[in-house]
Amino acid sequence: MSYRLKKFLINMIPIKSLRRKLRNKNQHYFMFQEQYSECHISREAILHSPENIKMGKNVYIGKGVKIFAEGGITIEDNATFAADITVLTTSHNFKHAQALPFDKIGYLEEVYIGKNVWIGAQSFILSGVKIEEGAIVAAGSVVTKSIPSCAIVGGNPAKIIGWRDKAEYNKLERAKKYFYCDGIEWQRKKGFKKYLEE
């Protein structure tokens, strides 16, 4: 159901309190769909403090993504967030704290997601990190430090496990070959991955 149709149907409900409740529940979704109409934002995504989110074009935010944007987040063009990713932009003071486990001082730390970044499912992006252009975050990673351009990272905490081919990346970028989330052609791969080395 399109967001315009959903908004229209909510406005047709005769009970004012129910209309208000449904509007409040869907407010971030309506606001983002209108402001970022060139992006795909899942209805199941949770966007806290959406006024602190700056987003480019053709951004994909999948189902179950939670962005806590109190400290601010910038998401550049063509970034892809798979399902169930959490992004935090705040942290607590525990060094020289006046209480345990942390004190009343909280830190707002901006997060930056560069263009063409792909973040795999169930990853955590912690506050104050910068993920530069073309980087890939493997599924289930916990990103605690900034990631350089075209790096492939994975693990907890995330470490560099490989690199994108920069020549190929630059060729696709110059040709503006971007994926627009309008359908994937699945192809079956045979065999299994190599065994871990002992």
Catalytic residues: 92
- CA-CA distance, 165 to 171, in Å (whole number)? 10
Cα 112 from Cα 119, distance rounded (Å): 13
| CA 7 to chain CA centroid, nearest Å | 25
Cβ burial 73-85 (10 Å sphere, 16+ → b, else e): bbbbbbbbbbbbb
Selection from 151, 171, 150 nearest residue 159 by Cα: 151
